[in-house]
Chain A
Amino acid sequence: MASLTFDALSKSYGANTVISDFSATVDDKEFLVLLGPSGCGKSTMLRMVAGLTDISSGTLKFGDDVVNTLTPKQRNIAFVFQSYALYPHMTVRANIAFPLIMDNFRWWHHLPFVGSLMRSRLLKRPDITAKIERTAEMLELTDYLERRPKALSGGQRQRVAVARSIIREPAIYLFDEPLSNLDAKLRMQMRAEISALHARVQKTFVYVTHDQVEAMTMGTRIIVMNEGVVQQYGTPAEIYSAPANEFVARFIGSPPMNIFAATVRDGLLYVDDVPVLNSAGWAASVVALGLQKVSLGVRAEKIGLKSPGESTDLLSIEAHTLVVEHLGAETVVGVKTGPVGATVDVGVGASRGLHYARIAGEEHFTTNSGCRITFASDAVHLFDPETGTRLEH
């Protein structure tokens, strides 16, 4: 049993607080992904779980045991580093076997000269050899066991790092952006391999990434972090379909969720002084919430594009196309509200206030042409424009 409990965990470096009051409970055998932009504190969090960084305040529990003061070794964890951290002077075989060998070390084996003698003896012990062979076979490394890390490709090195982590069968596996140094194709392959590994070993995984695709495809639970604060904790589906705030809404999904800053005026919603047709009901709801302004969030795939004159009973805003990206199966169209020429469309101004619609590949739009953005009521997420938090409606 290796559930993880973070209880008001904080990390500060002097006056600089990197993580504040982090609380969450992760059940045994979950694949938890810590997701967030660079510098949000997710790697620091993982290092605190590993015991490589001290915890400033709060409690961290593995199962029912408080592990705050335990060494990495005592926590029975495996850590896969972003940079692999293979031992360059050892063969792949010795690299994979190293944690197992250290497990079998007595205190006096750490003494000079005794250690190297014991390491080479343990490396030849039949049960350890068998385990190395089995792990290498599992990760297709059998042919490379006698090579040094420098003679391996990036993907192979990554697999050695994974092999080294699984050989000891730890209670918790920790991954610190392990795929960020691989190319796109290899990353996809390794994603599948790590997911398969989780299914096979049935242990708790904690995986740090800034890549939402990795988080959505691999995680059974995701913690979205920003500036050291947990933004949302939930399943990938919950986080995608009901983001807790504007940050999560825009961080998850590609292209990011469209956020329209809307104002209630004359019983209708207005976005950038352009009326949102059929929004009388929404305007009333917003007023009922005691607000005059609100952020409307709509996913790109929930937005439809129609010709300017076309009638619709959906919510719709007059707009014009600015960017059209044909991706084959689908087309991503960048639009701005208002008629053609209503906005600054050059330089930095071109990308400011751009909203995206993801439509079927066979629909054709040209740039700089008028259109209507349409979306159904049930596709709308409401956010408080001041705090960014989700408003239930």
Chain B
Amino acid sequence: MIGRRNLSIGVRTLLALVLVILAGFPVFWMINTAMTPVDDLYSNNQRIIPDFSRTLNIFQVLVSDSPFLRWLGNSALVAGGTTLLSLLLACLAAYALSRYKFVGKGLMTFGFFATQMLPEALLIVPLYSMFMTLGLLNELYGLVLVNTAFAMPVAVFLLKSAMDTVPYEIEESARVDGCNALTILQVMFIPLIAPSLAAAAVITFFDGWNEYLFATTFIHDTSNWVASTGLASFIGEFTTPLDMVFSGAIVFTIPAAIFFLLMQRKIVAGLTAGSVKG
């Protein structure tokens, strides 16, 4: 019996290890490539263990040869703005969809869903013309708006599902206690759906952080570039400094990873336990 259990644990550990390697190898290779001089990358001197002595050097080159930190800051602004605006609007929309009956509710839900059906590339031309008319071209808040338009519906669905699980009695009790709709949303719903809010924050943040197509189309000024556009610009027509590209990729990954780790701690279930007798 114990032998079979050990075997089962062994098989599961092995499978987990394979998955970790599959997922982790690209990250390892990114670090390894960043630490290897470009000449060595195309020779037989390929290294398996990254040469960490070059760490400081390559980041220095990255920062001095390009405004990468500025681009990173722009990315943070766009991603942060997208997250805040998306969550703000999604909370209001999800609350209305979850708790109110109104004319056009079905159509509105379908409208949110429809935004996810259209590929971004299809909308780029009309959006460009719209941005030009409204003077949003080359502006970071323009990117925030367009990213929000695509990220918010996902957040709405996520938050609406979470709000549907909040017992009606809690809302009614708050009404008896004197809360208006906005207070109920702030004081009752938002704390109770915090895990889903964190999940929605992760999704919308990455939507803004990783976005490339709109950023490269709508932002022309180099100083207003976001990190994804900047990173792609390292790829030259004749030469590509791969060590710089990959060290940029590392720097690009770190803030997103930190944000994810921070949010992950909030994504816990069971917050409504004890409110109503189940």
Give the interface of A toward B (CB within 8 A): 50, 52, 71-73, 77-79, 81-89, 98-99, 102-103, 105, 110, 112, 115-116, 119, 148-152, 154, 157, 164, 181
Contact between A157 and B192, CB atoms less than 8 A apart? no
Name the contact of A99 in the complex, choosing from B178, B180, B271 (C-beta under 8 A): B178
Contact at A79–B275, with CB atoms within 8 Å? no
Residues of chain B contacted by A119 (CB below 8 angstroms): 187
User: How far is A60 from B180 in the complex, measured between Cα atoms in Å?
Assistant: 23
CB distance from A98 to the nearest CB of B (A): 5
8 smallest CB-CB distances across A and B, nearest first, come from A150-B274, A83-B276, A102-B178, A85-B169, A88-B275, A149-B274, A85-B173, A73-B178
Answer yes or no: B240 CB below 8 A from chain A CBs.
Answer: no
Chain A residue nearest to B194 in the complex (CB): A89
Q: List 29 A-B contacts (CB under 8 A).
A: A52-B176, A72-B175, A72-B176, A73-B176, A78-B176, A81-B173, A81-B276, A83-B169, A84-B275, A84-B277, A85-B167, A85-B169, A85-B275, A88-B192, A88-B274, A99-B176, A99-B177, A102-B177, A102-B179, A110-B179, A110-B180, A110-B182, A116-B186, A116-B187, A149-B274, A149-B275, A150-B275, A151-B274, A154-B277
Q: Chain B contacts of A157 at CB under 8 A?
A: 274, 277
Question: Does the CB pair A89–B271 fall under 8 Å?
Answer: yes
Whether, in the assembled complex, B262 has its beta carbon less than 8 Å from a beta carbon of chain A, the answer is no
Given contacts A87-B188, A110-B183, contact A79 B276 (CB under 8 A): no
Interface size class of B (residues with CB under 8 A): 20 to 34
Q: Residue B17 at the A interface, CB < 8 A? A: no
- Bound together, the chains give a CA A149 to CA B271 distance in angstroms of 11
Partner of B274, one of A52, A78, A112, A148: A148
Chain B nearest CB, measured from A168 CB (Å): 8
Chain A residues near B188 (CB-CB < 8 A)? 87
Bound complex: CA of A216 vs CA of B275, how far in Å?
30
Q: Residue of B at shortest CB range from A77?
A: B176
Question: Taking beta carbons and an 8 Å cutoff, which residues of B are in contact with A?
Answer: 167, 169-170, 172-180, 182-183, 186-188, 191-192, 271-277
Chain B residues within an 8 Å CB radius of A152: 274
In the assembled complex, which residues on chain B have CB atoms less than 8 Å from the CB atom of A148? 274
| Cβ contacts under 8 Å, B182 to chain A | 110, 112
Asked if A79 meets B172 with Cβ closer than 8 Å, knowing A102-B177, A115-B187, the reply is yes
The residue in chain B whose Cβ has the minimal distance to the Cβ of A99 is: B177
CA distance A150 to B277 in the complex (A): 10
> Known: A149-B274, A151-B274. Is A85-B170 also a contact (CB below 8 A)?
yes
B175 cross-chain contacts in A, Cβ below 8 A: 52, 71-73
User: What residues on A are CB-neighbors of B186 within 8 Å?
Assistant: 112, 115-116
Residues of B contacting A: mostly: helix
User: Nearest Cβ distance between residue A132 and chain B, in whole angstroms?
Assistant: 14
Measured between beta carbons, the chain B residues less than 8 angstroms from A82 are 169, 277
8 Å CB contact of A181 from B173, B271, B273, B277: B277
In the complex, which of the residues B172, B177, B273 has the most CB atoms of chain A within 10 Å of its own CB atom?
A: B177
Task: Name 16 extra pairs, CB < 8 A, besides A79-B172, A110-B182.
Answer: A52-B175, A72-B176, A73-B175, A84-B275, A84-B277, A85-B172, A85-B173, A86-B275, A88-B273, A99-B178, A103-B178, A110-B180, A112-B186, A149-B275, A150-B274, A151-B274
Contacts known (A110-B182, A110-B183, A115-B183); A86 close to B274, Cβ less than 8 A: yes
Please state if A79 and B271 are interface contacts (CB–CB under 8 Å).
Answer: no
Contact B187 A81 (CB under 8 A): no
CB distance from B151 to the nearest CB of A (A): 21
Q: In chain A, what residue has the closest Cβ to B270?
A: A150
CA distance A274 to B149 in the complex (A): 82
Contact A84 B176 (CB under 8 A): no
A87–B187 alpha-carbon span in the complex (Å) = 10
Residues of B within 8 A of A86 (CB): 274-276
State in angstroms the CA–CA spacing of A102 and B186 once bound together. 14
- A89–B192 CB distance below 8 A: yes
Complex Cα distance A85/B169, Å? Answer: 5
> Would you give the shortest CB distance from B176 to chain A, in whole angstroms?
4
Contact of B172 among A52, A87, A164 (CB under 8 A): A52
Contact A84-B178, Cβ < 8 Å, known A89-B191, A115-B183, A115-B187: no
Q: Which single residue of chain A is at the shortest CB-CB distance from B177?
A: A99
Residues of B within 8 A of A52 (CB): 172, 175-176
Measured in the bound complex, the distance between the Cα atoms of B178 and A333 in whole Å is 54
Q: Using Cβ atoms and an 8 Å threshold, which residues of chain B touch A73?
A: 175-178
Most-contacted residue by chain A among B169, B170, B176 (CB, 10 A)? B176
Q: Which residues of B contact A110 (CB under 8 A)?
A: 179-180, 182-183
Name the distance in Å between B188's Cβ and chain A's nearest Cβ: 7
Q: How far is the CB of B25 from chain A (nearest CB, A)?
A: 42
Bound Cα distance from A215 to B6, whole angstroms: 61
Q: How near does chain B come to A390, taking the closest CB pair, in angstroms? A: 38
Task: Name the residue of chain A whose CB is nearest to the CB of B272.
Answer: A88
Cα of A119 to Cα of B183 in the assembled complex, Å: 12
- Shortest CB-to-CB span from B278 to chain A, Å, is 8
> Which of B176, B180, B272, B277 sits near A79, CB closer than 8 Å?
B176
Q: Which B residues touch A85, using CB under 8 A?
A: 167, 169-170, 172-173, 275-276
Determine how close the nearest CB of chain B comes to the CB of A304; give it in whole angstroms: 44
CA distance A92 to B229 in the complex (A): 52
Q: Taking the nearest CB of chain A, how far is it from the CB of B276, in angstroms? A: 4
CB-based nearest A residue for B275:
A88
- A151 → chain B, closest Cβ, in Å? 7
Distance in Å: Cβ of A118 to nearest Cβ of chain B:
11
Q: Which residue of B lies closest to A52 (CB)?
A: B172
Chain A's nearest CB lies how many Å from the CB of B145? 21
Within 8 Å by CB of B271, from A78, A83, A88, A164, lies A88
A83 to B170, CA, bound (A): 9
- Which of B167, B179, B272 has the most chain A CB atoms closer than 10 A to its own CB? B179
Chain B nearest CB: distance from A215 CB in Å? 21
Instruction: Among A83, A149, A150, point to the contact of B167 (Cβ < 8 A).
Output: A83
CB distance from A292 to the nearest CB of B (A): 52
CB distance from A75 to the nearest CB of B (A): 9
In whole angstroms, what is the CA distance A88 to B277 when docked? 11
Closest to B169 in A: A85
